[in-house]
């Protein structure tokens, strides 16, 4: 089983290489190779998940022991993240078959996409901060190029700004990791968890640096400036991956790993996290409400929903952590669904402006229905998945004595419903404008992934006790090792 | 040892100046490079053990340098393509996005 | 030895300022490489050989890439120096705040940790695999961004 660990990184890398070598072949070959890569990764992730969720652990290393060599280790949290990454990347890569036809050189796209997947897998499998960081770098570099993929003015501009801000974030993170090492003598997660690091003097500065770096990567307030531009100008499957997976893997995951180790709930740093979470929930939702561009609205929303995840994380009780992880998974599903849907609308109708759209339910029924399911999920409507995750987080907040934060969560939820009502009404309901009379539904390779995601939203909502017991609680136990 | 910290921080500060205040894209990206080497210097200097410097600190410092250099190269390419589209390297001229 | 390293790094910072202020883009790449070279030498002197060598290599590559970049754009930095206004004020304040914070943190820092490294290890060639991964990703990104057009409808 431990061979699965390097495989999860080597397979996407190998697939990327194969695609690069076939860049002169037909688009069919490139599509097949690219998607083969993501499907195999999904298979590997599932194969790994079964034993790990049942309780086994595994590790693998190349060269010297951590962290100078490449050291990978897997537990329930890693495997949960792997599942999220691989499900979302399969959805996006299948969607890309048709969507990326309008861009040049699909081969280069798939190469970057697979590199991003390899990097993200390395992040969640890394046994120490250094290996995690290398994964972040690889994924980020691919992302910068993917955001600029259209090579138009806005994309390049958004990408450059993202590169600058993203690198400042990674440098903060590196500085924090280096200083932390200087203080405590280790960067391995296992050793950090075992050693009661949070009581070491002088740990505040590295902790703040690490927090700032990760928060920038996750686009929490007030580090969110790059996100709306990057997510809205990138090609839609890339935006879906960015909002659905990337900000979680390279941002929030690190915080989960360091919870109880460096960030102790109840302490000063955790309080800072709570403030950031509350700000993100409210400001993200408010700003989303004002947007007329479909993708910008969705992008601002990501900031808000990630605030919920952070809220659960910072409260730190087992219930709060279950809620946080559940929301992370749910958001990965419905946000991906929304971005793919927005991409479909833009491709078929030619615009992303909510003011110019309307009544698309009649012309794009599948996109409309799946989008509606996404709406119910994100609005926290039973029996969909979003209802349970938001409820759990709010209840956990109140239970832990943070009634004010519970209220923030509820207000955020109301704002969320408001902006998505605007989204749904403006795009799918109402009158169909003259210009859009001839719009047709997108091709099957684009709506099939959306249907699968929508079904998943419903399934996770209906089966939530099973989800909590078998998927989330093992991950929470893995996080609480450091407690 | 404080002097080493301070001079490394000075490198980062100069880099930050480049990123925040300069408008030419190449200068902004060079600011990032300076920040990266400044961070690498801080990391190396604050590791345990004297000379040869601690292996893990070096590994972290090296990644900072390699990472910073890699992104800088990508930034150069992005800047060149931006120049093709806008005819200028002035970051203030590239305000099509509202942010 | 500390003194030498401090001087080298300070020189690197000074050259960095020169690079940022120059109006002649033709000399930009080489002077930038000089700043990186000074840093690399400082790292070699302090005993961080990996970082020093890495810095030299990165410097060399960066000089080449910058020369290419400058050759494809203008030879002079025509961009006006200071623009004033709210954004510039915010930037200046951030910079000053950063400097203040760093000085405060440095004066509280107890110097290099007396902590024994829990990882009793010496250098490994495998760490080069990691660097290769990062460089590979950057190379792929550059390869993708150098294509002629982005979208088919252009």
Q: What is the pLDDT along chain A (483 residues), one digit of tens a residue?
A: 788 899 999 999 999 999 999 888 888 899 999 999 999 999 999 999 998 888 888 888 877 665 677 889 898 999 999 999 999 999 999 999 999 988 888 899 999 999 999 999 999 999 889 999 999 999 999 999 999 998 888 888 889 999 999 999 999 999 999 888 888 888 888 888 877 766 666 677 888 889 889 999 998 888 888 898 888 889 999 999 999 999 999 889 999 988 888 887 777 888 889 999 999 999 999 999 999 999 999 999 999 999 999 999 999 889 999 999 999 999 999 999 999 999 999 988 888 888 888 888 888 889 899 999 999 999 888 888 889 999 999 999 999 888 899 999 999 999 999 999 999 988 888 888 888 888 888 888 899 999 999 999 999 999 888 888 888 988 998 888 866
Residue B3 has pLDDT above 50, yes or no: yes
Backbone angles phi, psi at A196, to 5 degrees: 60, 45
pLDDT at C140: 93
> Is the CB of residue A57 less than 8 Å from the CB of residue A142?
no
pLDDT at B72: 95
Which residue, among B8, B26, B31, B43, would best test binding to A if mutated, counting the most A CBs under 10 Å from its CB?
B43
Rounded average pLDDT over B42-66: 82
**Paired tokens of C119:** 């990882």
**Paired tokens of A119:** 């990097």
Q: Residues of A at the B interface (Cβ-Cβ below 8 Å)?
A: 67-68, 130, 133-134, 137, 140-141, 144-145, 148, 151-154, 156-161, 163-164, 166-168, 170-171, 174-175, 177-179, 181-182, 185, 187, 225, 228-229, 233
Rounded average pLDDT over C19-39: 91
Query: CA of A287: which chain B residue's CA is closest?
Result: B99
pLDDT at A483: 65
Measure in Å the smallest separation between the Cα of C89 and chain A Cα atoms.
Answer: 18
Instruction: Give A-chain residues touching C127 at CB under 8 angstroms.
Output: 63, 68-69
Q: Which of C115, C140, C152 sits opposite A103 (nearest CB)?
A: C152
Query: CA of A206: which chain C residue's CA is closest?
Result: C105
Question: In this structure, how many other beta carbons lie within 10 angstroms of the beta carbon of residue B92?
Answer: 12
Residue B29 has pLDDT above 90, yes or no: yes
> Is the CB of residue A161 less than 8 Å from the CB of residue B26?
no
pLDDT at C117: 58
Whether A67 sits inside 8 A of B86 (CB atoms) is no
pLDDT at C111: 47
> Is the CB of residue C16 less than 8 Å from the CB of residue B34?
yes
Query: CA of C129: which chain B residue's CA is closest?
Result: B63
Q: Is C67 exposed, middle or buried (0-12, 13-18, 19+ CB in 10 A)?
A: middle
**Which of these, A400, A222, A209, A204, lies nearest to A307 by C-alpha position?**
A222
Average pLDDT along chain C: 81
Measure in Å the smallest separation between the Cα of A68 and chain B Cα atoms.
Answer: 7
Backbone angles phi, psi at A317, to 5 degrees: -75, 160
Rounded average pLDDT over C99-107: 71
**C145: contact with A, CB 8 A cutoff:** yes
Query: CA of B48: which chain C residue's CA is closest?
Result: C113
pLDDT at A132: 93
Please work out, in degrees rounded to the nearest 5, the angle formed at the alpha carbon of residue B79 by the alpha carbons of A351 and A166. Answer: 75
> Is the CB of residue A252 less than 8 Å from the CB of residue A120?
no
Exposed e or buried b per residue across A67-80, where buried means at least 16 C-beta atoms within 10 angstroms of its C-beta? bbbbbbbbbbbbbb
Query: CA of A162: which chain B residue's CA is closest?
Result: B75
Q: Which of B28, B48, B99 sits opposite A164 (nearest CB)?
A: B28
Which residue, among B49, B97, B99, would best test binding to A if mutated, counting the most A CBs under 10 Å from its CB?
B97
Encode A13-24 in three state secondary structure: HHHHHHHHHCCC
pLDDT at C82: 59
Whether A185 sits inside 8 A of C117 (CB atoms) is yes
Q: What are A74's strand-pairing partners?
A: A58
Whether A130 sits inside 8 A of B96 (CB atoms) is no
Q: Which of B56, B86, B96 sits opposite A187 (nearest CB)?
A: B56
pLDDT at C154: 54
Cis preceding-peptide flag for A222 (omega within 30 of 0):
yes
Question: What confidence category does residue C107 fall into, taking pLDDT thresholds of 50, 70 and 90?
Answer: low
Instruction: Give B-chain residues touching C10 at CB under 8 angstroms.
Output: 7, 10
Instruction: Give C-chain residues touching A182 at CB under 8 angstroms.
Output: 112-113, 115
Cα separation, A268 vs A458, in Å, equals: 38
Residue B14 has pLDDT above 70, yes or no: yes
């Amino acid at each position: 089983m431990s061979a699965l660990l390097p495989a999860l990184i080597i397979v996407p890398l190998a697939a990327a290489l194969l695609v690069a070598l076939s860049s002169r072949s037909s688009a069919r070959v490139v599509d097949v190779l690219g998607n083969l890569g993501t499907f195999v990764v999904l298979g590997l992730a599932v194969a790994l998940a079964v034993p790990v969720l049942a309780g086994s652990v595994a590790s693998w290393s190349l060269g010297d022991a951590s962290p100078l060599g490449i050291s990978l280790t897997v537990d329930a949290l890693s495997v949960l993240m792997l599942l999220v990454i691989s499900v979302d990347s399969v959805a996006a890569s299948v969607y890309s078959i048709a969507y990326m036809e309008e861009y040049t050189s699909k081969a280069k796209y798939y190469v970057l996409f697979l590199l991003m997947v390899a990097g993200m897998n390395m992040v969640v499998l890394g046994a120490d901060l250094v290996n995690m960081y290398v994964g972040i770098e690889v994924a980020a570099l691919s992302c910068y190029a993917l955001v600029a993929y259209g090579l138009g003015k806005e994309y390049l501009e958004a990408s450059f700004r993202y590169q600058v801000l993203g690198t400042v974030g990674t440098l903060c993170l590196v500085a924090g990791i280096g200083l932390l090492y200087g203080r405590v003598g280790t960067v391995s997660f296992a050793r950090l968890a075992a050693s009661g690091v949070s009581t070491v003097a002088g740990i505040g500065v590295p902790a703040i640096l690490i927090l700032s770096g990760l928060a920038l990567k996750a686009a929490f307030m007030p580090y969110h400036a790059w996100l709306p531009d990057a997510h809205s100008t990138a090609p839609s499957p890339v935006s879906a991956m960015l909002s659905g997976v990337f900000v979680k893997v390279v941002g929030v995951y690190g915080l989960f790993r360091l919870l109880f180790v460096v960030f102790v709930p109840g302490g000063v740093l955790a309080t800072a996290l709570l403030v950031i979470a509350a700000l993100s929930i409210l400001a993200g939702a408010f700003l989303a409400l004002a947007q007329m561009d479909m993708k910008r609205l969705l992008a601002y929303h990501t900031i808000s929903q990630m605030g919920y995840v952070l809220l659960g994380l910072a409260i730190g009780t087992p219930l709060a952590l279950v809620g946080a992880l559940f929301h992370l998974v749910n958001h990965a599903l419905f946000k991906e669904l929304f971005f793919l849907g927005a991409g479909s609308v833009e491709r078929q109708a030619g615009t992303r402006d909510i003011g110019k759209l309307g009544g698309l339910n009649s012309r794009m029924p599948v996109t409309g229905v799946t989008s509606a399911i996404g709406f119910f999920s994100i609005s926290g409507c039973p029996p969909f998945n979003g209802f349970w995750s938001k409820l759990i987080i709010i209840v956990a907040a109140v239970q832990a004595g943070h009634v004010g934060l519970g209220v923030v969560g509820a207000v955020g939820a109301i704002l969320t419903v408001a902006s998505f009502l605007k989204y749904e009404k403006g795009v799918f309901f109402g009158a169909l404008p003259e210009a859009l009379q001839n719009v047709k539904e997108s091709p099957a390779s684009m709506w099939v992934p959306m249907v699968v995601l929508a079904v998943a939203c419903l399934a996770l909502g209906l089966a939530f006790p099973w989800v909590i017991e078998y998927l989330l609680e093992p991950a929470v136990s893995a996080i609480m090792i450091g407690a | 040892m404080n002097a080493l910290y301070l001079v490394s921080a000075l490198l980062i500060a100069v880099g930050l100046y480049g990123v925040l205040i300069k408008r030419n894209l190449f200068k902004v990206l060079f600011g990032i490079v300076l920040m990266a080497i400044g961070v690498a210097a801080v990391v190396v200097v604050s590791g345990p053990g004297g000379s040869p410097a601690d292996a893990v600190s070096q590994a972290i410092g090296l990644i900072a340098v390699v990472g910073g250099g890699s992104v800088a190269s990508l930034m150069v390419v992005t800047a060149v393509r931006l120049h093709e589209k806008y005819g200028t390297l002035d970051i203030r001229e590239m305000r099509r996005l509202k942010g | 030895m500390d003194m030498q390293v401090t001087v080298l790094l300070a020189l690197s910072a000074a050259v960095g300022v020169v690079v940022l202020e120059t109006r002649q883009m033709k000399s930009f790449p080489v002077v930038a490489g000089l700043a990186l070279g000074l840093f690399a030498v400082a790292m070699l002197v302090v005993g961080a050989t990996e970082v020093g060598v890495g810095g030299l290599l990165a410097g060399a590559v960066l000089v080449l890439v910058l020369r290419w970049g400058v050759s494809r754009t203008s030879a002079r930095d025509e961009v006006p120096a200071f623009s004033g206004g709210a954004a510039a004020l915010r930037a200046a304040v951030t910079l000053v705040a950063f400097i203040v914070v760093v000085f405060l943190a440095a004066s509280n820092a107890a110097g290099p940790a007396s902590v024994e490294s829990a990882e009793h290890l010496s250098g490994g060639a495998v760490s080069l695999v990691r660097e290769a991964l990062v460089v590979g990703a950057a190379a792929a990104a550059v390869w993708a961004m150098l294509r002629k057009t982005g979208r088919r409808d252009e």
